[in-house]
């Protein structure tokens, strides 16, 4: 899913932001000939994501002698677990430390929160979805992190699926008008169509138009169960709107096919990782 050129450009921007014309502290304190080994450790329970960023970070700073990824994205780690070892010029390892950690901590934070939501609905038929509420410029990495946590990726952007929301319905003049226009696009591109409905009248209109996927927003678990029972398999159902770790199980037990959670990307907390360096 992640284009190597895009990834390299993204990491290069992060390096330029942090290092600029040079790491003056490391250049002043560390001999050019010094060699070192560094190890990345988990300092809390977490689900890993972002390991593929590490070789790109180091390659953009002249490379290292060796980089060993000890676990893969999606692995669940306990405190003290090493996740990668790197050996090379001490200056390179020190200069790259923060950029590498920033990517790993942020992306593993997303994966860790994603895995908690997935765990919370185990035993139900519901699949957790992510959303487009991502950090600008980092969407592909954050979507990959959500997938590493077991989440199913929703649309990547505005180009790969039609999602008719309440403002589209208002601007188009109604559910039928919006849906019929969207069908013309879907007929040529093959993209799926999903309709957000706010009332039972809109739900009935969408079903009458032939909509096969419904987004039910801002319902209580009891309301969600009632609406899903009413739909009775005529369309797949997705719930969204303020669903938290504390409430997601109750919503899943209402019987939706999907629950989308923006918090997985927009509110994930960076995990605690450590980088330990020793001179050789």
The Cα 207–Cα 179 span in angstroms is 11
Catalytic residue among 18, 217, 226, 253: 217
pLDDT tops 80 at residue 1: no
Q: Do 125 and 101 lie in a common domain?
A: no
- Residues in contact with 177: Cβ distance below 8 Å, sequence separation at least 6, in sequence order: none
Choose, from 73, 97, 194, 196, the residue flagged as catalytic.
196
Q: Tell me what pLDDT residue 138 has.
A: 97
Specify whether 254 is located in the same domain as 275.
no
d(CA 151, CA 131): 10
Per the structure, the count of domains in the chain is 2
Q: Name the more confident of 186 and 208.
A: 208
Which ranges in the chain belong to alpha helices (H)? 4-19, 24-29, 53-59, 90-120, 139-148, 166-172, 175-189, 200-209, 221-231, 248-252, 263-266
Query: Which of 133, 139, 198, 225 is flagged as catalytic?
Result: 133
Q: Number of helices (H) and strands (E), helices first, in the chain? A: 11, 12
Question: Which listed residue (127, 132, 165, 234) is catalytic?
Answer: 165
Q: What is the pLDDT of residues 112-151, one digit of tens each?
A: 999 999 999 999 999 999 999 999 999 999 999 999 999 9
Q: Say whether both 219 and 262 belong to one domain.
A: yes
Residue 254 in contact with residue 104, Cβ under 8 Å? no
Of these residues, 98, 127, 176, 234, which one is catalytic? 98
Which DSSP string do the residues of 80-122 spell out, in sequence order? T-EEEEEEEEHHHHHHHHHHHHHHHHHHHHHHHHHHHHHHHTT
pLDDT, position 187: 87
165 annotated active-site: yes
| Closest C-alpha among 246, 243, 240 to residue 258 | 240
**Per-residue pLDDT for 102 more than 80?**
yes
Q: Indicate the pairing of strand 193-197 with strand 66-69.
A: unpaired
- Do 91 and 139 sit in the same domain of this protein? no
Give residue 11's domain range.
4-115+269-279
CATH of the domain at 48: 3.90.1170.20
Q: Which two tokens stand for residue 158?
A: 């505005």
Q: What is the pLDDT of residues 70-92, one digit of tens each?
A: 999 999 999 999 999 999 999 99
Q: Does 66 score more than 80 pLDDT? A: yes
Task: Answer whether 264's CB lies under 8 Å from 130's CB.
Answer: yes
Is there a single domain that holds both residue 248 and residue 125?
Answer: yes
Tell me if residue 68 is catalytic.
no
Claim to verify: residue 49 and residue 89 sit in the same structural domain: yes
38/125 same-domain check: no
The band of 185, judged by pLDDT with boundaries at 50, 70 and 90, is confident
Q: Establish whether 217 is a catalytic residue.
A: yes
The residue-averaged pLDDT of 12-32 equals: 96
Task: Give the CATH number of the domain where residue 143 resides.
Answer: 3.20.20.70
Spatial neighbors of 29 by CB under 8 A, at least 6 apart, are none
Same domain (yes/no): 78, 200: no
Within its chain, how far is the Cα of 238 from the centroid?
A: 18
- Pair (86, 153) in one structural domain: no
pLDDT in tens, 216-266: 999 999 999 999 999 999 999 999 999 999 999 999 999 999 999 999 999
Distances (CA, A) of 56 to 8, 140, 158, 194: 6, 16, 28, 37
Q: Are residues 109 and 122 in the same domain?
A: no
Mean pLDDT of the chain: 96
The verdict on 85 and 136 lying in the same domain is no
Residue 181 has pLDDT above 80, yes or no: yes
């Amino acid at each position: 899913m992640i284009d190597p050129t895009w990834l390299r450009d993204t990491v290069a921007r992060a390096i330029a932001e942090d290092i600029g014309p040079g790491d003056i502290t490391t250049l002043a304190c560390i001999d050019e000939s010094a060699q070192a080994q560094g190890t990345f450790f988990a300092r809390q329970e977490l689900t890993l994501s972002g390991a593929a960023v590490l070789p790109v970070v180091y390659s953009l700073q002249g490379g290292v002698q060796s980089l060993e990824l000890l676990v893969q994205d999606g692995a669940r780690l306990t405190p003290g677990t090493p996740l990668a070892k790197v050996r090379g010029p001490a200056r390179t390892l020190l200069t790259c430390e923060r950029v590498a950690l920033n990517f790993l901590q942020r992306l593993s934070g997303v994966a860790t929160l994603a895995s908690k939501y997935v765990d919370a609905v185990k035993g139900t038929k519901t699949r957790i979805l992510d959303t487009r509420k991502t950090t600008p410029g980092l969407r592909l990495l954050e979507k990959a992190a959500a997938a590493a946590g077991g989440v199913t990726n929703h649309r990547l952007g505005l180009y790969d699926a039609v999602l008719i929301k309440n403002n589209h319905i208002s601007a188009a003049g109604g559910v039928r008008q919006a849906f019929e226009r969207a069908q013309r696009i879907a007929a040529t591109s093959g993209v799926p169509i999903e309709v957000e409905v706010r009332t039972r009248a809109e739900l009935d209109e969408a079903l009458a138009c032939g909509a096969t996927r419904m987004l039910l927003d801002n319902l209580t678990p009891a309301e969600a169960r009632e609406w899903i029972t009413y739909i009775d398999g005529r369309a797949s159902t997705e719930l969204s709107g303020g669903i938290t770790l504390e409430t997601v199980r109750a919503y899943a037990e209402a019987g939706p096919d999907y629950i989308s959670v923006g918090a997985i990307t927009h509110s994930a907390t960076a995990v605690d990782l450590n980088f330990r360096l020793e001179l050789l």
